[in-house]
Amino acid sequence: MIGRKRGHGRVEATHIDMVPMVDCMMVLIIFLMISSAFVSDPGVEVHRPDVSGGVVGDQRAVLVAITRDDRIYFDGQEIQLDQLSDAVRRTALGKASVMIIRGDRSGSIGRFAAVYSEAKRAGIEHVEFATAKGP
């Protein structure tokens, strides 16, 4: 039976007000969504080289991936080396001038150097190389 009897057979109904709890949960969810950092991945899987140490990259960085067969991926699409500078210049507007290159460990260092020089031509101040954490 909901409620308690009081006096002459009257039943007083009780209920739990859920509105304040729902309000608190919504505030927490909104806070977590705003404070979370989402980084768009270039969309290709590469096996990064293992190193110890290192620094966590910037959340607003431009990401480029180089596969083991030296193909370049930018924003999930394969792109030619001569198109990279213009694409990076368009994308980096309003963002920090940082680029993170995710290169496959079996890719060539020559392709990495070419992507690095294209990033510098596009006006990127800091170019970083993504690696996996070592043992």
Strand partners, 6: 10
The stretch 35-64 carries a mean pLDDT of: 63
- pLDDT tens for 16-37 read 889 999 999 999 999 988 887 6
3-state helix, strand, coil split of the chain in percent (to 5) is 30, 25, 45
pTM value > 0.75: no
Task: Find the angle CA(53)-CA(108)-CA(99) to the nearest 5 degrees.
Answer: 55
pLDDT at 28: 93
* DSSP result, 48-75: PPEES---PPPTT-EEEEE-TT--EEET
What is the mean pLDDT of the segment spanning 1-17? 69
Which pLDDT value is given to residue 63? 83
- 37 contacts: CB under 8 Å, gap ≥ 6: 59
Over the stretch 88-103, which tens digit does the pLDDT of each residue have?
Answer: 888 776 665 788 888 8
